[in-house]
Amino acid sequence: MSKPAKSQWDFGGLIIFLSLSLLAAEGRAESWRLIWSDEFNGPAGTGIDTNKWTAETGGNGWGNREWEFYTASPRNAALASNGCLEIVALKLPAHTFDASYGEGEYSSARLVTGKKFLVKYGRIEARIRIPAGQGLWSAFWMLGEDNAMGWPRCGEVDIMENVGKEPDTVLGSLHGPGYSGHNSLNTAFHLKNKERFADNFHVFAVEWEENEIRWYVDGQLYERRTPANLPAGEKWVFNKPFSLLLNLAVGGKWPGYPDQTTRFPAVMAVDYVRVYQR
């Protein structure tokens, strides 16, 4: 049998490669089933869906010496005309509380699914545009349902964290007993060419399975963690249900504090939050 010309082999190989790629993509898409979401569609000014979220309230630093007071007001979290949820940090006194933290000037929102929705394993993603600015701290994250036992023993998964003074960088992190705070397991993802996360929406996600969590930005895998990554003798606390959280903090030991360059209102816009399982 005569050997086909090289160009014929190249063309045939390309067709096979494309066909296999399409099949693989279809297989990946079909492997996830949407089980919960909030698309944040509704009249502008509408508050959060209280069947899905609870607005946690309070100040006193939240363990990080933050300056904001979280409220349940639609001024701080409401649907916008562009079909997004806007979490808004305002330079506006919301409450009288401990001035030793520097609080009193700022209000914002912290939303949690709590006992309204818990998830164990799956693909958890959100499409978000985060604000830039000194002293701003945006986050999309998860806490173990047994958080009454105390942090970090309950476990924390940061799907996306950003400090506004680093507008091209987000972090994916794990916090647990023996590896929390400054000693957490974290990896940074950087945009190229001095792009800023504040300029466009991006999709932040984890794919979470038993004894493994993978982090993605816009579909790009940038980190994978398993129990083998833990400090010797420490416990993997991520094989149990977790709740979802969205918040925009102002100030704190890690991000620092607002200065004259920080613009308010600062807006974290969330297009959707979706949870898939196999």
Q: How many helices (H) and strands (E) in the chain?
A: 1, 17
Q: Is 161 part of the annotated catalytic residue set?
A: yes
What is the per-residue pLDDT for 58?
87
Q: Are residues 99 and 13 in the same domain?
A: no
- Asked if the model's pLDDT at residue 266 lies above 70, the reply is yes
CA 45 vs CA 25, 108, 165, 169, 182: distances in Å? 38, 16, 29, 30, 38
Instruction: Give the span between the Cα atoms of 223 and 161, in whole angstroms.
Output: 14
Is the torsion defined by CA of 70, 93, 134, 268 positive or negative? positive
Integer Cα distance of 60 and 251 in angstroms: 12
Q: How confident is the model at residue 161 (pLDDT cuts 50, 70, 90)?
A: very high
Structural domain boundaries, residue 15: 1-31
Q: Is the distance from CB of 188 to CB of 171 less than 8 angstroms?
A: yes
pLDDT value, residue 26: 42
- 143 and 84 within one domain: yes
Residue type at 124? Answer: I
Q: How far is CA 266 from CA 96, 109, 276, in A?
A: 21, 12, 30
Q: Beta strand 77-79 with 242-250: parallel, antiparallel or unpaired?
A: unpaired
Catalytic residue among 66, 86, 103, 156: 156
- Out of 105, 125, 161, 207, which one is annotated catalytic? 161
Examine the domain organization and report whether 8 and 136 are in the same domain.
Answer: no
Which pLDDT score is estimated for 194?
87
Radius of gyration of the chain (CA): 21
Q: Same domain, yes or no, for 27 and 38?
A: no
Both tokens of residue 45? 């000014």
- Has residue 9 got a pLDDT over 80? no
How many domains does one find in the chain?
2
Answer yes or no: do 133 and 265 share one domain: yes
For the stretch 18-53, pLDDT in tens is 444 443 444 445 599 999 999 999 999 999 999 999
pLDDT at residue 3, rounded to an integer? 37
Give residue 23's pLDDT. 39
Model confidence at 238, pLDDT cuts 50, 70, 90, reads very high
Q: What is the DSSP letter of 265?
A: S
CATH number at residue 176: 2.60.120.200
Instruction: Tell me, yes or no, if 125 is annotated catalytic.
Output: no
Portion of the chain with pLDDT greater than 70, in percent? 84
pLDDT per residue as tens digits for the range 127-156 = 999 999 999 999 999 999 876 679 999 999
* 23 and 121, same domain (yes or no): no
